[in-house]
Structures are given as structure tokens and as C-alpha cells.
Amino acid sequence: MYFNNKSISRLYNVVNLGIAGTSVQKRGPVNYWGMPQWKTVLPALSDVAIVIVQLGTNDAKLGVWNKTAFREDYILMLQNITDMHPHATIITSIPPPVSKEASEEGGGGYSYVNSELGTEITMATNTARLSRLSPLVNMQRVFKGHDSVALEDAATVGEQPKGLPSRLRRWMLPRQLPESLLQGDGVHVSQAGHNLMAHTFATLIVQTKSG
């Protein structure tokens, strides 16, 4: 990943250690703690400059969510990352929102993603008090604040009608976001959503490393 502005020009080797379906809570059905990415790969990496932690969506489901357990395990995870890589800057992120349907029991049961997850991640981040912890990123706020941008981005990947002026597209299409930044299941992020997240993190990293 390459960032360049007046004050910074730097090359990053990006390693994606995310695993679909995993949880922060150790009591979760498929928790991240037992994965080789956590147990073997992350500790073995060298010269780690930045760690982005964006977990919690799979924790915030009916039958899985436990606020206290999540907060305690999230804090422990941040502390363990610091122990592994004491010179790394840790960026915590509240995951994107889910659609209204996905938050309901019949549509997936991600009931607590939009209502309680952000509060617990914020509390855990503040409690950890890590010396190299960057400001928390609220992707729920970012997604909800980019309605017009989301329509433009989605159009480029075929999620909106093509061949129409952008102003007309915005007039014709319902402005019900963040669904347009999500795939049809209302949970997984679309290409437009991934682009928005990447831009948000890149901007923060540039500001952090040049400040």
C-alpha cells in the first residue's frame, strides 16, 4: 500500500489476517483466538508498523452477544497485540452497520451491531489505554455519512443503473443507506464499501504518520 502527500511517502506491505465468521469472544462458536493467524502468523511478523483491529460483527448476534465478555476479550486482545508488537500503532475500528433486515432475527439476527457494538468497542479502546493507540474509527458513521459518494461508487461496479447522469441517478434511486455499501444480505460489504473503508484507513494512516 503506497501513500503519498506533501508530508509522507511510504511503502507498506499489507498482510490481511481477517477470517470470516470469527468472533472476539472466546466463548463464541468460532473465535479468533484459536486461529493460526492469531496464534502463529501475527506473532511471527517483524517490523509491524500498524495493526488495524476491526472485529465484532459476528459477536453482536442473537445467542452470541455478551457485552461484558466481549469488552473483556477485546481489551485482552489489544493488550496482547501490544505485547507482540510494542512499536506498532493500533487502530481500532467499529465495523460497518448492517441493514435493518439483517439486524432482525429472521434476517440474520445481527441485532446488536448497530445498537451496542460501537459503544463496547469504544469503551474497550478507552480502557486499554495503550500508548500507541490511534483514534478509533467509526465505520458506521463513515458509511452513513457517504450516501451520495456511495451511489457513485456503486454505479462503477454495476450495483446501480449505468448510462445515466449522476444527478439523475441520485434522483431516481432511493437514498436508503448504508444498504448500498453492503451486499444483498445486508451484512457483507460491497466493493463500494471496501473502497470506502480503504480510503478511510489510508487517510488516517497518512495523518497519523505525518502528524
Predicted local confidence at residue 137, as pLDDT: 94
Cis link prior to 29 (omega < 30° from 0)? Answer: no
Predicted local confidence at residue 184, as pLDDT: 78
58 strand-pairing partners? none
Architecture of domain 2-144+191-210: 3-Layer(aba) Sandwich (3.40)
3-state helix, strand, coil in the chain (%, to 5): 45, 10, 45
Per residue in 76-110, pLDDT tens? 999 999 999 999 999 999 999 888 888 887 778 99
At residue 128 the predicted structure's pLDDT band, cuts being 50, 70 and 90, is confident
> For the chain, what are the domain ranges?
2-144+191-210
Q: What is the mean pLDDT of residues 33-54?
A: 95
The Cα–Cα gap between 85 and 90 comes to 10
At residue 191 the predicted structure's pLDDT band, cuts being 50, 70 and 90, is confident
At residue 64 the predicted structure's pLDDT band, cuts being 50, 70 and 90, is very high
Contact 5, 209 (CB under 8 A): no
10 strand-pairing partners? 3
